[in-house]
């Protein structure tokens, strides 16, 4: 299709004269490629040259006459009629003859010829496409509205009134559409088209999507063209698959799509899924991927992934020989890490090289912990670990070192089993675990894994007796306090918080039953330092301690009563209260009105399903309504702070706190309500984590936040500083 690109270049350069010269050259050719001709005519019809070229469209008729395939010839003539502007008698005669041959025996043929303009031959541009539409229009037929109304189902057709009754998916009610409007805006779609099925019987399509998701995705791509994952979701989520089920359905569907030989799966989420012109076997894809692999490491990973996901590639004898040859090359590499992985693959997938081969490689290897960590594939790590257990006299020391280094929990299960299988190894493990309990931050991820195993019912973890579990929990809370403000441990901190509050604090309830009062007192101290626990969490945890140890509950009674009386109150200054009140007024009188105009303007663009501006306007309305509701609720709980509400003897709301850091630096903070906070000006919310860390402290007392220690050196009231007597 060498001419197509040349035509595109002239259209892009707005070179109409050059375009006509190229067209003349193209038409003079002895042979015609109908596919190329169709592509060129489609390019012209959507270009700025379409109207000017209309007078020359008939010059394509000699090329049309040479096309032997009747369907391709019809497609070419249809495009010529879409572009032409001459309405010549000769072209009218050809058009009529073509339609008579195709539709002559259909009912109302003569009436439809009149409707498309071929009776008087004054104007019949688009005649073939318009007749195709008329022949398609009958009750129950489906169409697509290019003006934004989406898919529609024909309810009634009247040739006399020259109008249709259609129910569209994106506009309410049944719409009357005249034929002239229909010719300009409607595209016929077959009843088995994806869009027709979705509109006509979404329940049936959902049933099929659940049974055979690949078939539905394949049809979607065939009928709508390449789509990204986000675009596929837009076409299916809620319209076919309920939103609540989407994530689970798509995860399962994507795994099956990946294995389908007709669908090309993209490398990134921004790229589209598409249908291949021809089915491509997984063995062929593996050959291509291996050809593009850079180095032995990438080749191993590529072969492993294909063998795991598409085991049929290993049944292809030719492909098996290719894989064995590549693994043979890798076995000759000086890198022990690569040779171990190649051996592991040959053992696991091809049954080649019995275990002595792996044992031989491991037996004389140095620095095996580092080697195991360097292997990226977990299944291969496991094979090396089992070889170490068989072939090394020092396996206990090696597996213990690896246990404290590996991130994969599945491999920890295997290592724990082996390290507790013999008394000597178990004693060595207990010694290391005792050190871990003293300094859990050194292996934070491993500590949490061990903690969960230790507190589990019927635990096989060493150091999991009742008294020892108290030590585990104290270390757990100590670690939680250490990691909760460290960015690299953000996910671990979330996990630790979830462990404590799971099943309505069930773990804590069980632990406190029969616990020593010393542990309960230490527990209260530790949870008070963990600022990730909300005020509600803290209250529940303190209540659980009070149930188990009533004496400790009385110790906290006065403080708890104060906390209870202020629970839910939002303290603020008069300025903070005014700021929130003004914000609510602005939302109600300005932003909501502007948003209503946005919605109305967006509605006028039509096709609400595909209308990004309409969706954005609705989302803004939802945000404004949510913010207004939230602020209204907060104002109802707000209390304006006065001088009488500030107790400057200890750190709390309304205080100005002067601190000295461990390196001698002085810094001053004002603790006010969340609406008054301006961190850049050192004005903090009394609800912030940093404020919580110092709340209740007096002058001379210290606290730790993050990796710094602070001492309270001076306290005074905000109202005293501002010379405010109170309101």
Alpha helices in 191-350 (DSSP H): 194-200, 202-211, 213-224, 229-236, 243-259, 282-292, 295-309, 317-331, 336-350
> Tens digits of per-residue pLDDT, 501-545?
999 999 999 999 889 888 888 898 888 888 888 888 888 998 999
Q: Whole-angstrom Cα distance, residue 96 to residue 192?
A: 30
Query: Does residue 562 carry a pLDDT above 70?
Result: no
Q: Specify whether 673 is located in the same domain as 634.
A: no
> Tens digits of per-residue pLDDT, 294-349?
899 999 999 998 888 888 888 888 888 888 889 989 999 999 999 999 999 988 88
Is position 300 within any domain? no
- Among 531, 547, 564, the domain boundary falls at 564
Q: Specify whether 357 is located in the same domain as 487.
A: yes
Is position 363 within any domain? yes
- Among 527, 543, 564, the domain boundary falls at 564
> Tens digits of per-residue pLDDT, 204-235?
999 999 999 999 999 999 999 999 999 999 99
> Tens digits of per-residue pLDDT, 75-105?
999 999 999 999 999 999 999 999 999 998 9
Q: Specify whether 609 is located in the same domain as 522.
A: no
Residue 91: domain span = 2-135
> Tens digits of per-residue pLDDT, 667-693?
999 999 888 988 889 999 888 878 888
Which residues have CB under 8 Å from 194's CB, separation 6+? 216, 219, 220, 222, 223, 224, 235
For residues 390 and 420, the answer to whether their CB atoms sit within 8 Å is: no
Q: Specify whether 16 is located in the same domain as 58.
A: yes
Q: What is the mean pLDDT of the chain?
A: 87
Select the more confidently predicted residue: 266 or 604: 266
Q: Specify whether 105 is located in the same domain as 12.
A: yes
Q: Specify whether 124 is located in the same domain as 246.
A: no
pLDDT score recorded for residue 565 = 46
CA 551, distance to chain mean position in Å, is 50
Q: Specify whether 617 is located in the same domain as 533.
A: no
* 150 Rama class: left (phi>0) / alpha (psi -120 to 50) / beta: left
Nearest to residue 420, comparing CAs of 459, 455, 372, 390? 459
- Among 275, 290, 308, the domain boundary falls at 275
Q: How many domains would you assign to the chain?
A: 5
Is position 295 within any domain? no
Q: Specify whether 258 is located in the same domain as 350.
A: no
Q: Specify whether 503 is located in the same domain as 522.
A: yes
Q: Assign residue 588 the CATH number of its domain.
A: 1.10.287.180
pLDDT score recorded for residue 691 = 87
Is position 164 within any domain? no
Q: Which two tokens stand for residue 639?
A: 């209390």
Is position 381 within any domain? no
User: Phi and psi (nearest 5°) for 119?
Assistant: -75, -45
pLDDT score recorded for residue 554 = 54
Q: Find where tokens 């693994």 sit.
A: 327
Q: Specify whether 61 is located in the same domain as 80.
A: yes
Is position 316 within any domain? no
Is position 158 within any domain? no
pLDDT score recorded for residue 606 = 55
pLDDT score recorded for residue 611 = 61
Query: Does residue 64 carry a pLDDT above 70?
Result: yes
Distances (CA, A) of 340 to 370, 380, 412: 13, 8, 20
Vertex 653: Cα angle to 648 and 656 (nearest 5): 55
Q: Assign residue 653 the CATH number of its domain.
A: 3.10.50.30
pLDDT score recorded for residue 76 = 93
Is position 663 within any domain? yes
Nearest to residue 642, comparing CAs of 574, 540, 693? 574
Complete DSSP assignment for 560-614: HHHHHHHTT-EEE-HHHHHHHHHHHHHIIIIIHHHHHHHHHHHHTT--TTT-HHH
3-state helix, strand, coil in the chain (%, to 5): 65, 10, 25
Q: Specify whether 558 is located in the same domain as 653.
A: no
pLDDT score recorded for residue 453 = 92
| Beta-carbon count within 10 A of 215 CB | 13
Q: Specify whether 426 is located in the same domain as 500.
A: yes
Q: Whole-angstrom Cα distance, residue 327 to residue 346?
A: 8
Q: Whole-angstrom Cα distance, residue 230 to residue 212?
A: 20
């Amino acid at each position: 299709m060498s001419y197509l690109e040349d035509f595109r270049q002239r259209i892009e350069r707005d070179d109409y004269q050059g375009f006509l010269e190229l067209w003349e050259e193209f038409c003079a050719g002895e042979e015609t490629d109908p596919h190329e001709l169709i592509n060129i005519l489609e390019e012209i019809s959507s270009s700025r040259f379409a109207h000017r070229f209309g007078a020359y469209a008939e010059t394509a008729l000699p090329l049309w006459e040479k096309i032997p395939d009747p369907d391709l010839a019809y497609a070419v003539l249809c495009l010529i009629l879409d572009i032409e502007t001459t309405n010549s008698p000769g072209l009218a005669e050809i058009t009529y003859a073509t339609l008579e041959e195709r539709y002559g025996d259909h009912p109302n043929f003569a009436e439809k010829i009149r409707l498309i303009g071929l009776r008087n031959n004054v104007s019949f541009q688009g005649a073939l496409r318009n007749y195709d539409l008329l022949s398609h229009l009958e009750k129950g037929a489906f169409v697509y509205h290019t003006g934004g109304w989406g898919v529609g189902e024909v309810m009634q057709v009247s040739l006399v009134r020259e109008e249709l009754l259609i129910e569209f998916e994106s506009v309410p009610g049944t719409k009357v559409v005249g034929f002239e409007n229909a010719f300009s805006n409607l595209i016929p779609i077959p009843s088995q088209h994806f869009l027709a099925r979705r509109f006509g019987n979404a329940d049936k399509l959902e049933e099929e999507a659940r049974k055979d998701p690949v078939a539905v995705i394949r049809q979607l791509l065939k009928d709508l063209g390449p789509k990204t994952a986000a675009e596929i979701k837009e076409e299916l989520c809620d319209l076919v698959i309920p939103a609540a089920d989407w994530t689970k359905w798509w995860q399962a569907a994507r795994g099956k799509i990946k294995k389908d030989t007709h669908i090309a799966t993209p490398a990134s989420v921004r790229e589209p899924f598409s249908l291949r012109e021809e089915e491509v076997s997984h063995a062929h894809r593996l050959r291509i991927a291996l050809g593009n692999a850079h180095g032995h490491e990438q080749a191993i990973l590529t072969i492993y992934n294909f063998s795991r996901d598409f085991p049929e590639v290993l049944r292809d004898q030719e492909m098996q020989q290719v894989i064995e040859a590549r693994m043979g090359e890798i076995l000759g590499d000086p890198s022990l890490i690569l040779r171990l992985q190649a051996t592991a693959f040959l053992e696991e997938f091809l049954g080649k090289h019995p275990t002595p081969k792996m044992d031989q490689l491991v037996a004389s290897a140095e620095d095996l912990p580092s080697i195991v960590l360097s292997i990226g594939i977990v299944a291969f790590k496991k094979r090396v670990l089992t070889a170490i257990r068989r072939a090394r006299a020092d396996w206990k020391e090696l597996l213990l070192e690896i246990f404290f280094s590996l991130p994969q929990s599945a491999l920890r299960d295997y290592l724990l089993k082996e390290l507790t299988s013999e008394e000597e190894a178990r004693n060595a493990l207990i010694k290391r675990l005792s050190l871990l309990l003293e300094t859990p931050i050194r292996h934070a991820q491993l500590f949490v894994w061990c903690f969960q195993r230790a507190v589990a019912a019927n635990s096989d973890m060493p150091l999991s007796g009742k008294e020892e579990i108290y030590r585990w929990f104290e270390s757990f809370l100590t670690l939680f306090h250490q990691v909760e403000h460290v960015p690299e441990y953000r996910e671990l901190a979330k996990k630790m918080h979830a462990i404590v509050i799971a099943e309505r604090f069930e773990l804590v309830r069980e632990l406190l039953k029969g616990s020593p009062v010393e542990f309960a007192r230490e527990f209260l101290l530790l949870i008070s330092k963990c600022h990730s626990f909300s005020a509600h969490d803290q209250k529940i945890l303190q209540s659980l301690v009070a149930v188990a140890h009533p004496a400790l509950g009385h110790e906290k009674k006065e403080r708890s009563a104060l906390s209870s009386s202020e629970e839910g109150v939002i303290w603020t200054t008069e300025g903070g209260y005014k700021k929130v009140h003004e914000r609510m007024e602005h939302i109600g009188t300005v932003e909501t009105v502007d948003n209503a105009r946005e919605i109305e303007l967006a509605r006028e663009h039509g096709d609400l399903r595909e209308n990004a501006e309409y969706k954005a306007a609705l989302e803004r309305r939802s945000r404004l309504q949510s913010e207004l509701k939230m602020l209204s609720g907060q104002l109802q709980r707000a209390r304006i702070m006065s001088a009488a509400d500030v107790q400057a003897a200890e750190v709390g709301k309304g205080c100005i706190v002067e601190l000295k850091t461990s390196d001698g630096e002085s810094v001053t903070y004002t603790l006010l309500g969340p609406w008054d906070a301006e961190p850049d000006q050192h004005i903090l919310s009394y609800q912030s984590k940093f404020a919580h860390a110092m709340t209740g402290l007096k002058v001379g007392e210290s606290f730790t936040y993050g990796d710094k220690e602070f001492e309270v050196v001076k306290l005074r009231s905000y109202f005293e500083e501002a010379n405010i007597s109170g309101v």
